[in-house]
Amino acid sequence: MGTALEESKALLVRRWGELGGYWGINRTMAEIHALLFVSGQPLCTDDVMAQLQVSRGNASMNLRALVDWGLVQRVHRLGDRKEYFQADTDVWHMFETIMRERRRREVEPILATIERCRQMIAAGGGEQRAADVLDFRRRLDELQEFLTTMGVLFELVVQLGSGGASQLAQVLGQADGPAAADTPPTRRTRSAGGTSRPLRPITRKKDKR
């Protein structure tokens, strides 16, 4: 039975591993990242293997991937031939690194695909129905606008830094506080994607006399 500190670290490593898929990496890679994040000192491949019960090949492959992402750095100790690794413990910088890497891997290819779709339509000639082309172009435009807007918001948050973003969150929280009680209740409906969106305020019709 380990200490409370050891058990809490192990719990965080497990949970971080389970969440790895949400930010685009496999479970073992996420667990290694969490292990290095909670460790007070750099770890070598043997340490990672022993603590997570993974093979050398699996540990080495995922450590290299974490280095490529910029989430982990290699560390060398004088007189020690082993290669050690340590995680970036600046949470704000870690968030920025993850988001930039995800955008490079996922969003940028989608934007390139949207542009390719436009080129294909333009080269299609007259065999296409004009109404269908206009509708598809509208959908492409909306998708591109959304992804571009999210990119701009991300850059804004990064430029604000941790302190600026915290202040912005406080301002938004205050704006959504007492004043919200004065606004009429709103109905919410669920879209096809599963997200809820507000509808116009509920108004009651007056009885006709």
What is this structure's pTM?
Answer: 0.64
Beta-carbon contacts of 47 under 8 Å, excluding residues fewer than 6 positions away, are none
Residue 207: predicted pLDDT:
47
Query: pLDDT of 175-202, one tens digit each?
Result: 665 544 455 544 444 444 444 444 444 4
Residue 2: predicted pLDDT:
66
Residue 116 has pLDDT above 80, yes or no: yes
Q: What is the SS3 assignment for 49-77?
A: HHHHCCCHHHHHHHHHHHHHHCCEEEEEC
CB-CB contact of 16 with 30 (8 Å): yes
CA dist., res. 200 & res. 101, Å (int): 38
Residue 100: predicted pLDDT:
85
Q: What would the DSSP string read from start to end of 123-165?
A: TSGGGS-HHHHHHHHHHHHHHHHHHHHHHHHHHHHHHHHHHHH
Tokens of 100: 């930039």
Q: What is the CA radius of gyration of the chain?
A: 25
Give the phi and the psi of residue 192 in degrees, each rounded to 5: -65, -30
Query: pLDDT of 123-173, one tens digit each?
Result: 876 666 788 888 998 999 999 999 999 888 888 877 777 677 777 777 777
CB-CB contact of 30 with 17 (8 Å): yes
